[in-house]
Amino acid sequence: MTRRERQELIDKGLLLPLMEEFYTIQGEGFHKGTAAYFVRIGGCDVGCHWCDVKESWLAELHPPTETEKIVENAVKYSDTIIVTGGEPLMWDMGPLTAQLKAKGVQTHIETSGAYKLSGEWDWICLSPKKMKLPTEDVSKKANELKCIIYNKDDFKFAEEQATKVNEDCILYLQPEWSKREKMMPLIVEYVMANPKWKVSLQTHKYLNIP
């Protein structure tokens, strides 16, 4: 396969830069505690300084993998498939989700929403970032809004993003892991004063699992 042919397949979403895939327990948000198969797609230019998977940023470090192979492997483990990154919406998610849905599984995505929404999703977890704001389409279709609280200013940003999602979207505040001891008391206080919000924790880190 020539480089051009490979790039054409990547552009069509038939090849994706697969960083890693693993079966574990969803640790965050609405589906925490649920067994799920994670597919982590490489490539991200949002650039969160506190990102805990910076090795996912450069797509060229991760091998272009046929979506058919990703699907074939994923459905062996779970009927809930979570696509994460990196930023998966940098790529066309249509072929991947079409093949997953044909297998009868649930498709979830974790995204910053910074790119055009593609793919067919049963659950969209939107985690917006200040550096590159979500598109209106992703915000309106999000099932849950998960705002990361690194400092006090992030509460204001969370409220701004909450005005952009649909009325059924579940609202979460989650402490950035390295700041959890400092920010958790503030989050608890904020949620008690503003009960439209819920607290999300990275429970998988407490469980010491991926």
pLDDT tens digits along 77-129: 999 999 999 999 999 999 999 999 999 999 999 999 999 999 999 999 999 99
Please tell me the distance from the alpha carbon of residue 138 to that of residue 126, in angstroms, as a whole number.
8
Mean pLDDT of 30-43: 97
| Percent of residues, the chain, with pLDDT higher than 90 | 91
Residues at the annotated binding site for [4Fe-4S] cluster? 44, 48, 51
Q: Is the pLDDT of residue 49 over 90?
A: no
Confidence of residue 29 (pLDDT cuts 50, 70, 90): very high
The lowest-confidence range among 45-49, 55-59, 67-71 is: 45-49
* pLDDT recorded at residue 207: 83
Q: What is the mean pLDDT of the chain?
A: 96
* pLDDT recorded at residue 115: 97
Strands (E) located in 89-201:
106-111, 123-126, 144-149, 170-175, 197-199
Q: Is the pLDDT of residue 1 over 90?
A: no
Residues at the annotated binding site? 25-27, 40, 44, 48, 50-52, 84, 86, 127-129, 210
Confidence of residue 184 (pLDDT cuts 50, 70, 90): very high
pTM value?
0.95
When computed from its CA atoms, the radius of gyration of the chain, rounded to whole angstroms, is 17
Q: Is the pLDDT of residue 73 over 90?
A: yes
Mean pLDDT of 38-66: 92
Q: Is the pLDDT of residue 76 over 90?
A: yes
Apex 104 CA angle, 168 and 123, nearest 5? 20
Based on the number of CB atoms within 10 Å of its own CB, is 63 exposed (0-12), middle (13-18) or buried (19 or more)? exposed
Please tell me the distance from the alpha carbon of residue 40 to that of residue 59, in angstroms, as a whole number.
11
* pLDDT recorded at residue 19: 97
Mean pLDDT of 162-188: 97
Residues at the annotated binding site for substrate? 25-27, 40, 84, 210
Nearest of 154, 145, 155, 140 to residue 200 by alpha carbon: 145
Please tell me the distance from the alpha carbon of residue 84 to that of residue 26, in angstroms, as a whole number.
12
* pLDDT recorded at residue 52: 80
| Under 8 Å between Cβ of 87 and 115 | yes
Give tens-digit pLDDT for 143-161: 999 999 999 999 999 999 9
Residues at the annotated binding site for S-adenosyl-L-methionine? 50-52, 86, 127-129
Please tell me the distance from the alpha carbon of residue 123 to that of residue 129, in angstroms, as a whole number.
19
